[in-house]
Amino acid sequence: MHYIKDIFEKTETQHAHNKFIRYSRGSFTGPLISIKFSKAAVKVDASFHFADELLILLADILGDKKVHAKGTLVWNKDLTQDLLKQGIKYSKVTKARGIFTYHLENEVALKSFVDSLNCYNLLITVKDATCSLVTKPKYPKPNKEITRDFCKASFPPEEKDHILKEFAFDVKGKVNKEISIRHEIDITNIEVPDVKDFELARRLAKRQGVIRRYVSIDKGEEVETVLEFSV
């Protein structure tokens, strides 16, 4: 589920590949996440990179419980007919620079809803008595500073180990109150396939480079891990 975990564990997935399509050559701020633990809840603050991972995690916990889901679906193709076939309602759709944004608001069986749409970019807010996810409705502009406040989630305290397994997969020591993780991404090479369609070539191209992962437990000193990757 967690694409950084997949890359560090050398698991090739289409999900991880898709996450890197946006990158050209250069150095970038990667995903950021802070997780705090208390007797009452697990609180998560994260950058936009983890919007879908947190939504999938929420769906795994709640299953097909009926919830109110509000937000946007962003894609580079017209999905009007697909949404109608699935009974997904939207209040409006806008198009800018070839990107379609559908404004959604539905009562949904959450896991079925997420499973049917998780191949698209979803920025969804869901609130339940035990869990919640609040996500901003628009992705940040490319030149804007990346921050941890794009997504805010709350989970039951018994989900601590589940969440640590996903986002702190490489941490061996005990985490008492909080963990903070950030990444820096250097793209050094892009292997572009020999196809005439520019957009297809961009989407199929493999990005290669280095990920630097920094982990701080309970406000301690950051521990750095460096990984060369191709995705």
Q: Return the pLDDT at 28.
A: 94
Q: Residue 134 is part of which domain span? A: 3-230
For every residue of 1-50, DSSP letters joined together read: --HHHHHHTT---HHHHHHTTT--SEEEEEEEEEEEE-SS-EEEEE-GGG
SS (HEC) of 102-118: EEEEEEEEHHHHHHHHC
Q: What is the mean pLDDT of residues 148-165?
A: 96
- Flag whether pLDDT at 117 surpasses 70: yes
Distance (Å) of CA 117 to CA 75, 102, 114, 124, 134: 11, 12, 5, 11, 18
* Residue 1 pLDDT greater than 70, yes or no: no
Furthest C-alpha separation in the chain? 56
Helix, strand, or coil (residue 51) = helix
Give me the sign of the Cα torsion angle 32, 216, 231, 153. Answer: negative
Q: How many domains does the chain have?
A: 1
The mean per-residue pLDDT over the stretch 99-119 comes to 90
The rounded percent of the chain whose pLDDT value lies above 90 is 73
Q: What is the pLDDT of residues 30-69, one digit of tens each?
A: 999 999 999 999 999 999 999 999 999 999 999 999 999 9
This prediction has a pTM of 0.91
- The pLDDT tens digits for 205-230 are 999 999 999 999 999 999 999 999 99
* Start-to-end CA span in the chain (Å): 16
- List, for residues 125-143, the tens digit of each pLDDT value: 999 999 999 999 888 887 7
